[in-house]
């Protein structure tokens, strides 16, 4: 019998390869469940989960909520915009107030890196990090790897290029950790201004030419330019960014192989990826969304099984 090595999912950095394997095996079962005529199992009927989102989210929040409901957990959701956080309440106070309503698990998104880790150390509940600043977004990396495994059979030995705004991206960091842990090779590609200094120290090669990066890769994970986080001008114009780092159908057709195209969403159509690429057969973007529910069910189920 297997179980996770951790009680919280703070980041991929803090888990092991065996945890990823267990999450994927469990997600396989849940993927079968969510394709049944009735897509619900009663496992977590005595678990209450709070989704605490201090930052905007559509996909992740819906995906977590759906995963929790498919597992029959009771769910309360909370967005900072409508909460007492605006009145000056601290993070621990907010969460402890929620927990005194007998909540067993907290899924949190927060703008500050380390917020999930901080919470895990200070409150009595199982914590799932749904994104903390530019630090980690572990469930996104897990569902990305799960989708690669589904599309190409295995993650080990595959070549993955992450394209775009690596500097502000928690998805990039979690993906680098997850992919390397599973034996994939990772490169990053983007404007120098949007690549973190010393990114090579993570064992990641930098490729500044998109065509060369795609010629090398089996999978391209296209990241969004996070305009809301760009405090200064990192590149001259969106048009110039698109010319250098946008993936078009012509570019993909000119390669002598088929690269799997991924995108964590939301897509800026016409910026990092054109519409015909996003909607093409090579794109697994909607598979990522479907797998997101199965993977989040697996993570939630496995962490819940450790709550005593």
Partner 1 sequence: MSQKVLLTAKEVNIILHRLACQLIENHLDFSNTILIGLQPRGKFLAQRLATLLEEEYHIKKIQLGFLDITFFRDDFRRGEKPLEANITQIDFLVEDKKVVFIDDVLFTGRSINAALTAIQSFGRPSEVELLTLIDRRFSRHLPIQPDYRGRQVDAINNEKVIVKWKENEGEDLVLIETKN
Note the residues at the interface with partner 1 (CB under 8 A).
1-3, 25-26, 29, 32-33, 36-44, 46, 71, 301-302, 304-308
Q: Shortest distance, CB of residue 243 to partner 1, whole angstroms?
A: 48
Residue where the block lists tokens 């009735």: 38
Nearer of residues 36 and 281 to partner 1, judged by Cβ: 36
Nearer to partner 1, 26 or 174 (CB): 26
Burial of 57 (0-12, 13-18, 19+ CB in 10 A): middle
CB of 5 to partner 1, least distance (A): 12
State the minimum distance, in angstroms, from the CB of residue 152 to partner 1: 22
| Cβ closest to partner 1, residue 70 vs residue 224 | 70
CB of 105 to partner 1, least distance (A): 12
Give one DSSP letter per residue of 212-245, joined into a string: HHHHH-SEEEEPPP-GGG--S-SSS-HHHHHHHH
Residue 28 vs 215, nearer CB to partner 1:
28
Smaller CB separation from partner 1, 127 or 176: 127
Cα separations in angstroms, 126 against 64, 106, 203 = 15, 6, 31
Q: How far is the CB of 300 from partner 1 (least distance, A)?
A: 12
Residue by residue, what is the 3-state secondary structure of 160-209?
EEEECCCCCCHHHHHHHHHHHHCCCEEEEECCHHHCCCCHHHHCCEECCC
Which residues are bridge partners to 205 per DSSP?
Answer: 187
């Amino acid at each position: 019998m297997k179980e996770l090595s951790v009680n919280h999912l703070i980041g991929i950095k803090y888990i092991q390869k065996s945890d990823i394997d267990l999450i994927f095996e469990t997600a396989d079962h849940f993927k079968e469940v969510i394709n049944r005529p009735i897509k619900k199992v009663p496992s977590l009927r005595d678990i209450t989960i709070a989704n605490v989102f201090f930052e905007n989210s559509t996909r992740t929040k819906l995906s977590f909520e759906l995963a929790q409901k498919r597992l029959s957990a009771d769910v309360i959701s909370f967005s900072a915009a409508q909460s007492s956080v605006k009145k000056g309440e601290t993070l621990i106070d907010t969460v402890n107030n929620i927990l005194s309503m007998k909540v067993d698990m907290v899924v949190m998104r927060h703008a500050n890196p380390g917020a999930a880790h901080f919470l895990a150390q200070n409150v009595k509940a199982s914590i799932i990090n749904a994104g903390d600043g530019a630090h980690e977004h572990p469930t996104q990396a897990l569902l990305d790897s799960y989708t690669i495994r589904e599309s190409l059979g295995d993650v080990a030995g595959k070549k993955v290029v992450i394209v775009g705004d690596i500097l502000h991206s928690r998805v990039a960091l979690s993906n680098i950790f997850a992919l390397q842990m599973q034996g994939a090779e990772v490169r990053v590609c983007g404007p120098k201004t949007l690549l973190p200094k010393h990114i090579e120290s993570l064992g990641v090669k930098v490729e500044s030419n998109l065509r060369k990066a795609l010629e090398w890769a089996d999978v391209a994970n296209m990241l969004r330019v996070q305009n809301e986080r760009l405090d200064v001008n990192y590149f001259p114009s969106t048009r110039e960014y698109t010319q250098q780092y946008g993936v078009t159908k012509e570019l993909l057709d000119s390669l002598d192989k088929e690269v799997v195209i991924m995108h964590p969403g939301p897509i800026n159509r016409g910026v990092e990826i054109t519409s015909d690429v996003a909607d093409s057969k090579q794109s697994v973007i909607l598979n990522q969304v479907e797998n997101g529910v199965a993977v989040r069910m697996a993570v939630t189920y496995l962490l819940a099984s450790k709550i005593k």
